[in-house]
Structure 1
């Protein structure tokens, strides 16, 4: 069984727990909340003993088998937490998990916690065996496009909602920092009554806690979002990010836009062009409009500008590298 994090609470409220739960993903807050929800449900349903096993150097997989078979001294039901920090149980671990899944003790619940898994792990025999008898909960990163819905769902739990202006304001200030977003939302419950909150309400209390990575720069370029791009460059500069890495991310997106645009004009298959130029996910939806907006001559000029910025970053040219990065981005924004 596969469950989304948003479906987990309703599932746990139904009653009897499944023998196995696998929580995996890279969004730390979502993983933390999912695992805690399972722990709380287990406690409420009489699983009075909790045992934690961590797969690290020296770990013996027979410990999992022994834990499943051991009779609890304190409770008839036991929660076994197994943590695999690298997400790779290996041959021995994979076999041990398959064996456990085929004969999972009825009076125990196994909670397996893993990081983000790649396709080989998701299609492995051990993962499929666990999914067949239990539930898997994937916790991927909440993208910027998904963030408004995530915020709205959490606000709804405290009977609050945001105006469109207020939502844009909050998203801009918590992007890339989900834990801080949660804290700001919790703060709103303490400081404001139920109902709709305005931009003025948020400006008085919400801190700017956004955290950016260089990969988001390409999204801002493609979307033509000048204010977001400017905020991201300021944030990356303040966090001490290397300007050479920032330049690489921006130039790589410009090259992809140019290649996809030229390929489309020559009758190429758009999906194939996306694959060849590593254009993934929601960005694909914005690419056609970006290609229509940006001429090939603009993109070629931007690459020439990027070469100049590279010389500045390496100390060969003159000028402020961060100012030039901003100018590079602004020349690709809608007029």
Structure 2
């Protein structure tokens, strides 16, 4: 059967299928749909989980092994299969068909992949899942659907926005649901359950209306040193909180390190990419290629010093604000893969 993403919670309240296929290119909806299925499975005793990340080197024999393996302590198990595309290949199609023909009673299969194209929709294993399990195709929301989605999420978070406030936030995020969730979290911290107008949101947005830490991350991934310098200057002029900026630099550093390590070990970066807006995927993958031989020890040492400096502790701590901003710029330029003299 087919279930829409906004119907999955209601579906899971009544039943739990043996197989789920969650497909689509909108990362937040895919992630939250899969999380809801995992939570429902755990509540039904499927307390163990095997994560199988499918890439070019993946051996589909792992699915046979996982399907037939006895669970630790006789607990039931969730098989979490993550595919970069909807193309399973010859060996994958054979393995999936076999699994779907002989569904193990102590396992639930959860598959995640990108949008199903015409060929994938006609694939035998996809049609079989629709027969014996549940297929959830996640679609990008229309402007009207985005408006309704944001209104619902704001109310679920305890906010009390008026109609114009919801409309303003919807226009600002331009369909980026991950950005919407981040903005809603910020509004909860600032306004709690008080009534909220568009003017309230404008006041929050105006603090970072020109640039944000997310603009900085994209500039670094784009290897645009001039833009990195300009954004850092604007963020400093706007008195952006340095702990937030240091966290953003450290987060990107960890993502790049993990991504490069995955490439070296022929592992998939799908889990990392699913946390990012789709528009950032190519930038991130290009950055990985130029950062493969980076001096990671130096980068992590700089990040650790920044964290200490922002807290006023550690060795060689500088309490001069400009020194801290200079050090953040140094790390940002190094993460962009460019010379500090650019």
TM-score by length of structure 2 reads 0.57
Match of 1:191 in 2: 190
* CA deviation profile, 1:75-134 (whole Å, cap 9, x unmatched): 420010111112200122122212211211111110101111111111221101011111
Equivalent residues of 1:177, 1:210 under 8 A apart: no
Match of 1:4 in 2: 4
User: What aligned pairs does 1:79-94 form with structure 2 within 5 A after superposition?
Assistant: 79-94=78-93
Match of 2:30 in 1: 31
Cα distance in 1 for residues equivalent to 2:9 and 2:188: 21
Q: 1:66 to 1:184 in 2, by over 3 A?
A: same
User: What aligned pairs does 1:1-335 form with structure 2 within 5 A after superposition?
Assistant: 1-14=1-14, 16-194=15-193, 196-206=195-205, 208=209
Q: 1:143 to 1:210 in 2, by over 3 A?
A: farther
Equivalent residues of 2:8, 2:33 under 8 A apart: yes
Cα distance in 1 for residues equivalent to 2:61 and 2:141: 36
Name the count of aligned residue pairs: 212
- Give 1:52 deviation, angstroms: 1.0
Cα distance in 1 for residues equivalent to 2:125 and 2:211: 38
- The unaligned stretches of length 5 or more in structure 2 are 213-226, 229-342
Query: Secondary structure of 2:204's partner?
Result: coil
Cα distance in 2 for residues equivalent to 1:173 and 1:102: 48
- The unaligned stretches of length 5 or more in structure 1 are 212-237, 240-335
Cα distance in 2 for residues equivalent to 1:58 and 1:165: 51
Q: 1:150 to 1:37 in 2, by over 3 A?
A: same
Cα distance in 1 for residues equivalent to 2:131 and 2:73: 30
Please, which moves more after superposition, 25-34 or 166-175?
166-175
Equivalent residues of 2:53, 2:83 under 8 A apart: yes
Q: 1:204 to 1:56 in 2, by over 3 A?
A: same
Cα distance in 2 for residues equivalent to 1:118 and 1:210: 36
- Give 1:210 deviation, angstroms: 11
Equivalent residues of 2:3, 2:137 under 8 A apart: yes
Match of 1:253 in 2: none
Cα distance in 1 for residues equivalent to 2:190 and 2:157: 12
Cα distance in 2 for residues equivalent to 1:208 and 1:116: 33
Cα distance in 2 for residues equivalent to 1:195 and 1:6: 27
Equivalent residues of 1:2, 1:135 under 8 A apart: yes
* CA deviation profile, 1:255-294 (whole Å, cap 9, x unmatched): xxxxxxxxxxxxxxxxxxxxxxxxxxxxxxxxxxxxxxxx
Query: Secondary structure of 2:72's partner?
Result: coil
Query: Secondary structure of 2:87's partner?
Result: coil
Cα distance in 1 for residues equivalent to 2:57 and 2:101: 25
Cα distance in 2 for residues equivalent to 1:173 and 1:106: 47
